[in-house]
Amino acid sequence: MIGLQHYLILSALLFAIGLFGVLTRRNAVAVLMGVELMLNAAAINFVAFTHFVSPGLVRGHVAALVIITLAACEAVVGLALVINAYRHLDTIQVDEMNLMKG
């Protein structure tokens, strides 16, 4: 039977992979994917703790739905910013996007 520790290990691995992606990638789309992984790890934690600590409540599930909604909004806004940056700067490399002009 799968216990709480299995979900926490999975969540920690997902978060670590996402953090590694955010800190090491230079591509803006890869950075956004890392942030998505970290948000999904948080959602897994909420659902796992709710299931094992208070099985009758749905607080963790509601928090996970809020996180999923937030992740979808973040993806839309982030990709819009990446497309706009590519149109103006001809690159999506994060370290080359240091010029901000209005």
For residue range 36-94, what is the model confidence (pLDDT) as tens digits? Answer: 999 999 999 999 999 999 998 999 999 999 999 999 999 999 999 999 989 988 888 88
Q: Is residue 97 part of a domain?
A: no
Q: Is residue 22 part of a domain?
A: yes
Q: What is the CATH number of the domain that holds 71?
A: 1.10.287.3510
For position 91, what pLDDT does the model report? Answer: 86
Q: Characterize 24-60 residue by residue with b for buried, 16 or more Cβ atoms within 10 angstroms of its Cβ, and e for exposed.
A: ebeebeebbbbbbbbbbbbbbbbbbbbeeeeeeeeeb
Evaluated on CA atoms 36, 75, 79, 77, the torsion sign reads negative
Q: Could you count the other beta carbons within 10 Å of the beta carbon of residue 11?
A: 21
Q: Is residue 101 part of a domain?
A: no
When divided into structural domains, the chain yields a total of 1
Q: Is residue 50 part of a domain?
A: yes
pLDDT band at 100 (very low <50, low <70, confident <90, very high): low
- For the CA atoms of 10, 13, 14, 20, the dihedral, rounded to the nearest 10 degrees, stands at 180
